[in-house]
Amino acid sequence: MGTIVIKDPVHGSVTLDGMEARVLDSAQMQRLRGIKQLAMASLVYPGANHTRFEHSIGTVCLAGEMCDNLGMGQDEAAQVRLAALLHDVGHIAFSHEAEAVTKKYIGTHEQIGGRIVEKGEVADIIGENFSQKKIAALMHGKGNGQIIGSDIGADRMDYLLRDSHYTGVAYGVIDAQRICHTCCLEKKRLVVGRGGLEAAESLLVGRFMMFAAVYLHHTVRIASKMLQQAIVFEIENNGLQKERLYEMDDAQLLTHLMGNKNALAQKLHARALYKRAYSCPLAQMGKGELEDAKSGRLQEALSQECGCEVLVDVPQQPAQEASVRVLAGKTSVPISEISSLVRSLAHAHLARNSIIVCAEGKNVKKAAQATKRALGKY
C-alpha cells in the first residue's frame, strides 16, 4: 500500500506512508472508529461524537511536524509517528471512563496497547521494519516518545483542539503550530523555546478551562459514574469476560449491558440521568472524608441509609504542570518559575474540584440530607 492522504477537519490534509496506512487498516485500529474520544460528553455536548480513530490521525500529524522541526532522522521520526498513531490502540469501550473501573481486571490502556503492538496483526506489520518493543516504549513516553505524551506533546495538543472543535467550547483552541516550531531538545528532554512561552501558557490554561467546562462538567461526571457502576455490576454479577471488553466498542458494550437488563445502562440510553444532590470542594474536605469518598465507603453508607442507590464521584486529578520547561538563557526552568499565570492554576484546580453525590430525582432530597450528616461527622 502506498502513501495516502486523509482530510481531517482539524489539521487539514494528513499524509500517511504505506506502513502507517496498513496499521491504520488493522482490525485493532479500525475498532477505534466506534470508541468516542469523550465517552459520555455527547449527552451534554451533542456534537462530541468524534472518536479515538480520528484523534490518532491528528496525533500523527502533530508528532510528525514536531519531528521535522527537531531535525530528527528519517528512521527515528518514522518510529515516533508509528507510536503516535498507535498510542490509543489499547483503549476499551468508553475509554478512560470505563478504564477507571476495569483496569484492576484487565490493566490500563497503555498495558493493553503494549500487548497489541508486541503480538498480533499490528506487531507483524511493525516487525517488517522496526522493533515492536521500541514502538511500545515510544508509546509509553520513553525517549523521543515525549513528543507524543508529554505536557506539550502531540497527544495533548490534538485532543484539546479536537475536543474544542466538536464540543463548540472555544477554550481548547491553542497555537499548536507555535509549540511545534519552538520546541527543542535539551539533553534529550523536550522543552519549549522562549518564543513559545505564551503558546505553552495558552495550552495549560486551555486544558484547565476544558476540564472545568467539558471533562469535569457535573452532568458528564454523573453519566460517567452511572456507566462505571453499570460496568462493575456486569463484571461482578453477570460475569462479563475481559476478552469481550477487548473486542467491544461503545455501542456494543452499552447494548450488551442493556441486554442483561442493567438498569443504569437503560437509564443512560434514555438519558434519564441521576441528579446532583450535593457537592463539596475537595479542599474543604477532611482527610477521613476524602478517604471514605475515594474508597466507596461513603457511597455504600449513603445508599444504605437512604434505602436507594446513591452514587459518589470523586474527580480525576489533572496532572501537575511542573514538567513543562521553558528555555531561559542557556538552560530551561519549570514554566511556573517564569509564569505567574501558570502558578495560579494549581490553586484554581483545587478550588474547583469537588465531589458530587447524585441519585434519582425522587431521592435527591434525602440523599442531600444524608450526605450533610455524613460529612459533618468529621
User: pLDDT tens digit string along 134-175?
Assistant: 999 999 999 999 999 999 999 999 999 999 999 999 999 999
Measured in whole angstroms, the distance separating CA 246 from the mean position of its chain's CA atoms is 18
Q: pLDDT band for 319, please (50, 70, 90 cuts).
A: very low
Mean pLDDT of 232-258: 90
Measuring CA to CA, how many Å separate 203 from each of 151, 159, 333?
9, 11, 17
Task: Report which of 278, 256, 275 is spatially closest to residue 266, judged by C-alpha positions.
Answer: 256
Inform me whether the pLDDT recorded for 274 exceeds 80: yes
**Can you tell me the distance from the alpha carbon of 308 to that of 75, in angstroms, rounded to the nearest whole number?**
59
**Can you tell me the distance from the alpha carbon of 241 to that of 102, in angstroms, rounded to the nearest whole number?**
11
DSSP class of residue 35 equals: S
**Can you tell me the distance from the alpha carbon of 113 to that of 82, in angstroms, rounded to the nearest whole number?**
13
345 by Cβ neighbours in 10 Å (0-12 / 13-18 / 19+) ranks as buried
Give me the pLDDT at residue 41, please. 97
SS3 319: coil
**Can you tell me the distance from the alpha carbon of 316 to that of 21, in angstroms, rounded to the nearest whole number?**
35
Mean pLDDT of 358-371: 96
Q: pLDDT band for 378, please (50, 70, 90 cuts).
A: very low
User: pLDDT tens digit string along 254-272?
Assistant: 999 998 889 999 999 999 9
Q: Tell me: domain 4-168, CATH 1.10.3210.10, correct? A: yes
* Unique residue bearing C-alpha cell 523555546: 193
Give me the pLDDT at residue 132, please. 97
**Domain extents for the chain?**
4-168
SS3 328: strand
Instruction: Provide, rounded to the nearest whole percent, the portion of the chain with pLDDT above 90.
Output: 83
Return the C-alpha torsion angle 372, 303, 215, 64, nearest 10: 140
120 by Cβ neighbours in 10 Å (0-12 / 13-18 / 19+) ranks as middle
Give me the pLDDT at residue 317, please. 65
